[in-house]
Structure 1
Amino acid sequence: GEVVIKGKRIHAKYILAAPGRVGADWFAEQARNLGVKLTHGPIDVGVRVEVPAVVYEPVVKVNRDPKFHIRTKTFDDFVRTFCTNSMGWVMEERYDDHVGVNGHSLRAKKSQNTNFALLIHIETINHAARAGVYTPICKGRRCYFIHGFETPHLLAVDHVDCANVAIFRPDENFVVRDRW
């Protein structure tokens, strides 16, 4: 194949493109231009949960980054934990005009909290699957982002099965709709 980068033609047997979340729409456009058939596969979406470090301490003593896999009884959903940050921080991430959160921790500096991602595996449908735009879905609740957010806030989880999750401060930019 051939690729042109900043006006320079590069010939290669294989071309690897890794545009990341922000470049997903660009990548899809490039694939369509090349006649590549696009399909939408399953995705994992979720929330970042933050708890006092003492609550999660017995778990991280056994495994620094534990992975819990849960199959729910009500909807047979596959839910899992991912990317535990013991005594770490929840941080804001921006992708163009979208705001999300992630977690990180430092070796030398510690917080009083531990955070981890709680993800649900969902099968996508073509009109709902836009890579790079996350629609948090957790136990029958869908939160649609109408506009961007100024400041992410801590997660509030009511139940272990995530029946109700508040991701950002509710205001005119936040709409929660029941499952439809």
Structure 2
Amino acid sequence: MELLCGWGGAGAFSDGKLTLSPRVGGFLSDFIAEPELKDLIRQADETYLSFGAPPEVLGRSSDRTEALYREAKLAGLEFIPQEIRHLGTENCLPLLTRMRESLGKKVEVFFETPVKELRAEDGRARGVLLGDGSSVEGEFVVCGPGRVGAAWIKNELERLEIPSVPSPVDIGVRVEAPAPILQKLTDLAYEAKLIYYSKTFDERVRTFCMNPYGEVVTETIEDIVTVNGHSYARKRTENTNFAVLVSSAFTEPFRDPIGYGKYIARLANLLGQGVIVQRLGDLLDGRRSTPDRIQRCITRPTLASAAPGDLSFVLPYRHLKSIIEMLEAMDRITPGIFSRHTLLYGVEVKFYTNRVKTSPALETRVQNLFLIGDGAGITRGLMQASISGMLAAEEILRRMK
């Protein structure tokens, strides 16, 4: 089953975290004032609620979250409070199905119809060229290729001479530990956003996609198998998982961070024939994990297909060192996470489209060509991706009046 393409993209089979904070999930605040962005978040949230999103909001601020913020500072971490509406993996697909059924009464939706090229003439959008050689003409073109389309849209931007700059690539591991170890964080924040700057390399390291009582899963991008995680609203495991990602921004002359990330992921696949799992203790001792060592681990892996191995053969030293330092810092606020029984799965990679200079409505220098979602390299999460579509739609409606 394809998890990253189709209706809803990666969101259809994610665990559906709708972040209600303007500081999380993208960079729309770079050109939208915070009060306006908060109002757009409210509008998008109301839409999700109308299609069946649960009413409960997690991670609301309290005296305890303020105490956690101070505790994180003392550990060398930045804790970013956020409110989340958690759909749950089992609820995303039904919700998106209801959205599709509603839109199906108003628009035509074509599946398995790949777009080969964006068409433009005299600086204006003209439509798209399909993979079978046919064309679809239109006065406006809204392009939302998602992360899986990052390489394709990069090539299209270059062909259309639309300036862009490479976005960072996030490379790291999926961490899994017994849920009680992280309960202090997940009870307060559900998904704790923590940022750390490594002492050795001054690299930006962050937690991402924390899944209380969740499970580790694989995802496929082209021919590459990487790792991810999700959690259900009702079904529970005994573990919590989250990603620790190191952001790498490259300088000239290198301009292919996507290719670099794919290279690292392919290396893991070469060594482990898929995803590799390693005990933190084995990594620190400079030895690979074996099936027997994983069997003796008190953290029971939720991804049974992961191959025991050695991540030091895959991840660059600066990444491994930064990840280890991050887990050491986290151990000061969540004792036990830096245990030898903590499991590390690799690799997890987040590809981002080149950052494109756009108008606040996400229009490119090609008139009437809009890039939404991760297409412009500006959004990251479901909520800001949703809002980007609203911005483009409102501008198109204004011009059509």
Aligned equivalent of 1:157: 280
Match of 1:133 in 2: 262
The unaligned stretches of length 5 or more in structure 2 are 1-124, 290-305, 319-401
Number of aligned positions between the proteins: 168
Structure 1 residue 81: Cα displacement: 0.7
Match of 2:169 among 43, 52, 65: 43
In the TM superposition, 1:13-28 aligns within 5 A as 15-28=141-154
Q: TM-score, normalised by structure 2?
A: 0.36
TM-superposition CA deviations, 1:42-78 (whole Å, max 9, x none): 2322111011111111211111111111122222121
Please state which structure has a larger fraction of its residues in strand: 1
Which 5+ residue runs of structure 1 have no aligned equivalent?
137-142
Q: TM-score, normalised by structure 1?
A: 0.75
Aligned residue for 1:108, secondary structure, equals coil
Equivalent position to 2:187, from 52, 58, 61: 61
* Residues 60 and 134 of structure 1, relative CA distance in 2, 3 Å threshold: farther
Q: Which runs of 4+ in 1 moved over 6 A?
A: 163-167
Amino acid at match of 2:309: P
Q: Tell me by how many angstroms 1:146 deviates.
A: 6.5
Normalized per residue, which structure has more helix? 2
Structure 2 Cα separation of the partners of residues 81 and 164 of structure 1: 25
Q: CA deviation at 1:158?
A: 4.5
Of stretches 145-154 and 68-77 in structure 1, the one that deviates more from structure 2 is 145-154
Cα distance in 2, alignment partners of residues 99 and 118 from structure 1: 18
For 1:144-165, what per-residue CA distance to the aligned partner results, in whole angstroms no more than 9, with x for missing partners?
Answer: 3463854424453349x9x999
**Using the alignment, how far apart are the partners of 2:207 and 2:275 within structure 1?**
20
Do 2:277 and 2:307's aligned partners in 1 also have CA atoms closer than 8 Å?
A: yes
Residues 122-168 of structure 1 show CA distances to partners (whole Å, capped at 9, x for unaligned) of: 112425512672637xxxxxx93463854424453349x9x999885
- For 1:169, which of 308, 317, 320 is the aligned residue? 308
Q: Distance in 1 between matches of 2:246 and 2:307?
A: 19
1:52 is matched with which residue?
178
With over 3 angstroms needed to count, the CA separation of the structure-2 counterparts of 1:9 and 1:150, relative to structure 1, is: same
CA distance in 2, matches of 1:148, 1:94: 17
Of structures 1 and 2, the larger Rg is shown by 2
Structure-2 residue corresponding to 1:116: 242
> Which residue is 2:127 aligned to?
3
Name 2:295's counterpart in structure 1. none
